[in-house]
Structure 1
Amino acid sequence: MSLEEMLEKEDLGIEILHPGGLEITKDLAELCGINEKSKVFDVACGTGESACFLAETFECEIVGVDASPIMVEKAKKKAKERGLEGKTTFILADAHKLSFPDNTFDVVISECTLCLLNKEAALREMVRVVKPNGCVGIHDVAWKENTPRELKLKLKDIEGEEPETIEGWKRLFEKVGLVDVVVVDKSHLIPEWMKEMRRQVGLWGELKIFLNILKKEGPKGLKNAWESMKIFESSHTGYVIVVGRKPSKE
């Protein structure tokens, strides 16, 4: 079990599972041109914190999907508590096989999740459902150019994550047909995020996580969790915002 899965299943009071918090969500929204007229699609919406924030801040309409029933229920509950049921919709869905028609949304975003998916397949679905001239934007983990292959394989084995380099993310966006691709290096957020996660979880939360890992996976699971933390704290791990535009129809 990865640390992310543990944080999902344990009630540790953490609503945002990505670096940069709502500030990077706002940065992404502004780069994508989200406004009160936008119909936005949030792939892997998690607890719905970002979706609710966008609905409140930009007054946009937003649909969030996630593969976790736990997260979808949390998101629905949060939207109801904040009076956002008319602005938000949350649905259980697979990011690789979206049920929405082509050209449905003005903007499609995904926060710190694409590296966990089949990146190209999920990104092609995001491009399919966005309207021509609409934006597709993400922020996600990005390897530094000199990252050893062994480190990349270790993270894939432990967490199931396969980040690209910053240039690799740009090339992937261009490969699926997006144009005017913009990348913003946000690597400075990683160490801040690790400190903030520790602060939010607290000593008791950390102990609870590690005891659960020990119970379910034994010493090897603890070792993997420790190594995962060290990878994210290493100088090889960066972070990036990537935004591209779907070309208009000929």
Structure 2
Amino acid sequence: MIEQDVAKHYCGRSTDLEEKILQALQKSGKDLNNLVWTDLGGLDEFHLRKREATVEMAELLNLQPETRILDAGSGLGGPSRYLASEFGCHITGIDLSGTFCNVARSFARRFGLDDRLSYQQGSVLELPFQDDSFDVVWTQHVSMNIGNKTGFFTELARVLKPDGMLACYDIIAGTGVPIDFPVPWAETEKISFLASAEEQKQAITYSGLKILSWDDKSQEALAWLEIAQEKLREEKELPQSHKVFRGEGFSEVMSNLVRNFQSGRTRVVQIIGRKPVS
């Protein structure tokens, strides 16, 4: 039931999602007959600092063309398209939203990346893959919607090959004081499950993964958010991309997000881990 609510939160408002995205791109001045994958900009990355955060994490992983990656919570496929384009990796995405998977597949075909990218609908708590299948498991802004953190990281560890890498970029709880809603990942506390730093670390280590680095990116995220909020105020109208996904309520979401980070009630961390060989 919770997973259905999560899927509805992210794409329940969106019918004909791909067409709406293409219309937004056209209104922003893009030529739909000559689109390249970078034209999507931040529209296809649902996490703080968007492409900047994706690039930072990818640079820590020594990715090669033969690297096989699982993108757990792949959304519209923005990060996976970057990884396939820049490193030649093969990426399998899984997401609760069938709509997101369909759009991601369509964009993979549109940009000639479908030989390296595949997407399927499913739960990250019950991954439909064999043990030891991937060299890297990659996840960005997913565990905030998952109450069973131990189950989540245990599943990621199960499908990861020995000596394989975990790359995780997620929002966690800060001070422990309740946050202001709505936020990008939840309208109310019903589908929001922020773990403390200690709880997140415990879930990862319980799964058998070893944490190699834990980098708090909250200050960078807050600076990025404040710039984005100021730009919204100056433009006095929501960008087409925000209208596609959030409608006119986005300004309130942005204000809450900034306030939660300013007060330390939310934090964002970049985590690199490894699955031991034995």
Q: What band does the TM-score fall into relative to the shorter chain?
A: 0.7 to 0.9
How far the C-alpha of 1:22 sits from its partner, in A, is 1.5
- Distance change >3 Å, CA 6–CA 89, structure 1 → 2: closer
2-structure distance, mates of 1:199, 1:154: 20
Match of 1:136 in 2: 166
How far the C-alpha of 1:4 sits from its partner, in A, is 6.0
Structure 1 unaligned spans of 5+: 214-221
How far the C-alpha of 1:231 sits from its partner, in A, is 4.9
Taking structure 2 as the reference length, what is the TM-score of the superposition? 0.73
2-structure distance, mates of 1:198, 1:90: 36
How far the C-alpha of 1:181 sits from its partner, in A, is 3.0
Q: Which amino acid aligns with 2:53?
A: I
How far the C-alpha of 1:37 sits from its partner, in A, is 1.9
Question: Quick check: 1:143–1:164 contact (8 Å CA) kept in 2?
Answer: yes
Q: Say if 2:263 is the partner of 1:235.
A: yes
- Distance change >3 Å, CA 165–CA 152, structure 1 → 2: farther
Q: Which amino acid aligns with 2:97?
A: S
* SS of 2:179 mapped into structure 1: helix
Q: Which amino acid aligns with 1:137?
A: A
Question: 47, 56, 67: which is aligned to 2:85?
Answer: 56
Q: Say if 2:249 is the partner of 1:244.
A: no
Question: Quick check: 2:98–2:121 contact (8 Å CA) kept in 1?
Answer: yes
Match of 2:179 in 1: 151
How far the C-alpha of 1:234 sits from its partner, in A, is 3.4
Match of 2:10 in 1: 5
Question: Quick check: 1:142–1:239 contact (8 Å CA) kept in 2?
Answer: yes
How far the C-alpha of 1:170 sits from its partner, in A, is 2.4
Question: Quick check: 1:55–1:87 contact (8 Å CA) kept in 2?
Answer: yes
Question: Quick check: 1:18–1:193 contact (8 Å CA) kept in 2?
Answer: no
2-structure distance, mates of 1:178, 1:153: 32
User: What does the per-residue CA deviation read over 1:222-245, in whole Å, with 9 as the maximum and x for residues that have no partner?
Assistant: 98x588446544321211101111
Q: Say if 2:207 is the partner of 1:176.
A: yes
Question: Quick check: 1:159–1:228 contact (8 Å CA) kept in 2?
Answer: no
Q: Say if 2:192 is the partner of 1:123.
A: no
Q: Say if 2:123 is the partner of 1:94.
A: yes
How far the C-alpha of 1:211 sits from its partner, in A, is 5.5
Match of 1:216 in 2: none
User: What does the per-residue CA deviation read over 1:103-158, in whole Å, with 9 as the maximum and x for residues that have no partner?
Assistant: 000000111111211322121111000000001121011222x332x339997744
User: What does the per-residue CA deviation read over 1:79-120, in whole Å, with 9 as the maximum and x for residues that have no partner?
Assistant: 111110101111111111111000000000111111211322
Match of 1:196 in 2: 228
2-structure distance, mates of 1:187, 1:122: 23
How far the C-alpha of 1:189 sits from its partner, in A, is 3.4
* SS of 2:165 mapped into structure 1: strand
| Structure 1 range deviating more: 31-40 or 240-249 | 31-40
* SS of 1:96 mapped into structure 2: coil
2-structure distance, mates of 1:90, 1:243: 23
* Superposition CA RMSD, Å: 3.4
Q: Report % sequence identity.
A: 21
* SS of 1:103 mapped into structure 2: coil
Taking structure 1 as the reference length, what is the TM-score of the superposition? 0.80
User: What does the per-residue CA deviation read over 1:155-201, in whole Å, with 9 as the maximum and x for residues that have no partner?
Assistant: 77446222223343223211211114311111023331364378589
* SS of 2:75 mapped into structure 1: coil
